[in-house]
Amino acid sequence: MKKHNFCSGPSILPQVVFEQAAQAVLNWNDSGLSILEISHRSQGFVDIVDEAVALVKEHLQLTDDYEVIFLSGGATSQFFMTAMNFLDKEETAAYVDTGIWSAKAIKEAAAFGNISKIASSEDKGFSYIPKSYSVPTDAKYLHLTSNNTIYGTQIHQLPETDVPIIADMSSDIFSRPIEVERYGAIYAGAQKNTGTAGATLVIIRKDMLGKVNRKIPTMLDYTKHIAKNSALNTPPVFPIYVSLLNLRWLKSQGGVPAMKTLSEQKAGALYAEIDRNSCFIGKVAVEDRSLMNITFLLSNPDLNDKFGAACDAAGIVAVKGHRLVGGFRASIYNGMPMESVQVLIEVMQEFEKENG
Ligand SMILES: *Cc1c(COP(=O)(O)O)cnc(C)c1O
């Protein structure tokens, strides 16, 4: 039976990416070698990194002011690496708390400088994006989580500030154009919209670098990774290759602008059904709804298991909400086709006929 995978991460990738990745494991580029056995010092791998970096720059329209590297350690390592590399002990960075991932970023950064939590949506269970706050002009940077994977909220407008923004874009990078020049750094675990688990994409504006006094261990120092073109030590070769395949696919589809249109269609159709269907309720403030992670509740929570079973029966996978927030969540990253969203909508409509 065909599966429709709505998992929040690791998540669905385009079928052609799975096929090309599988082929490369057996015989990469007709070399007679598996991608899993090539040296990270070989020209072949250097070319993979160079093309992936070039595609990231093209897709996000990055100027030469920006460096692009692939690291390991997940977005979670970036919670502390950003502060370690960009914030001195006496300096202050501003953080907006929009849920679990932001909270982890705040906790990890606190070891390296003063962290000022300037806004939070905790008062309403992180069901909205705080907007009426001002960013202290002396803040070293402002940290934002652009899309809150767990709650299903997304920042649709950046706050007014001249302070460089550092954004965790793990779950919405490449899904919409960004105002590049506003960012001092961007990071994203690859397993949602970039590629597969094991690589982390980090984008850094050059003027952010080399401005802290502390001694940074080599493996945690952005400047060292940049100098070695993402191969300071053995990098996650295969996840970087899968990212390259996915970035090529993205280009073939019309790039980020096309993904924005598609995301609006997919999310629009799902939200319209949630709003229309008497069995379901949207969880978050309408103006802050995420186009990547669509969260909803059943109006009668006693029917949760029944809806779960209806999804199973239709081949729909991983629509259960995050264990900390409950309900349901459909993650519809770039690789998710409209047809699968349509299958979920039909299950919701059938469910209403039987239970509404
Ligand atoms: C998934 C996710 C993370 C965690 O990423 P890891 O790569 O597992 O460390 C962090 N932030 C956001 C917004 C996420 O969606």
pLDDT at 236 (0 to 100): 98
Distance 124 CA to ligand 1 centre (A): 22
Q: Which atom of ligand 1 is nearest to the CA of 197?
A: 7
Q: Is the beta carbon of 9 within 6 A of some atom in ligand 1?
A: yes
Q: Which residues contact 109 (CB under 8 A, 6 or more apart)?
A: 79, 80, 82, 83, 87, 93, 95, 115, 143
The pLDDT, as a whole number, for residue 332 is 98
Ligand 1 pocket test target in 155, 168, 322 with most atoms within 8 Å of CB:
168
**CATH 3.90.1150.10 placement within the chain:** 4-12+255-355
Atom 10 of ligand 1 has which residue's CA nearest to it?
75
**Angle, CA of 72, 75 and 77, to the nearest 5°:** 65
- The CATH architecture of the domain made up of 15-252 is 3-Layer(aba) Sandwich (3.40)
Would you call 249 a catalytic residue per the annotation? Answer: no
Q: Given this model, what pLDDT does residue 177 score?
A: 98
Question: What tokens appear for 307 in the block?
Answer: 């809806």
pTM of the model: 0.98
Ligand 1 centre to CA of 350 (Å) is: 34
Atom of ligand 1 nearest to the CA of 77: 9
Question: pLDDT at position 356, please?
Answer: 83
Atom of ligand 1 nearest to the CA of 147: 13
Distances (CA, A) of 192 to 33, 42, 81, 156, 215: 28, 28, 20, 19, 33
Q: Is 28 annotated as catalytic?
A: no
Predicted local confidence at residue 330, as pLDDT? 98
Which residue minimizes the CA distance to atom 12 of ligand 1?
170
- Residue 206 catalytic? no
Write down the pLDDT at residue 324: 86
Per-block mean pLDDT, blocks of 10 residues, the chain (356 long): 96 97 98 98 97 98 98 98 98 98 98 98 98 96 98 98 98 98 98 97 98 97 98 98 98 98 98 98 97 98 97 97 93 98 98 94
Domain with CATH 3.40.640.10 in the chain: 15-252
Cα–ligand 1 centroid distance for 277 (angstroms): 31
Q: How far is the CA of 170 from the centre of ligand 1 (A)?
A: 6
Fold of 4-12+255-355: Aspartate Aminotransferase, domain 1 (3.90.1150)
Q: How far is the CA of 341 from the centre of ligand 1 (A)?
A: 23
Ligand 1 proximity of 67 Cβ (cutoff 6 Å): no
Residue nearest to atom 3 of ligand 1 (CA): 75
Predicted local distance difference test score (pLDDT) of residue 36:
98
Q: Is the CB of 152 under 6 A from ligand 1?
A: no
Distance 169 CA to ligand 1 centre (A): 9
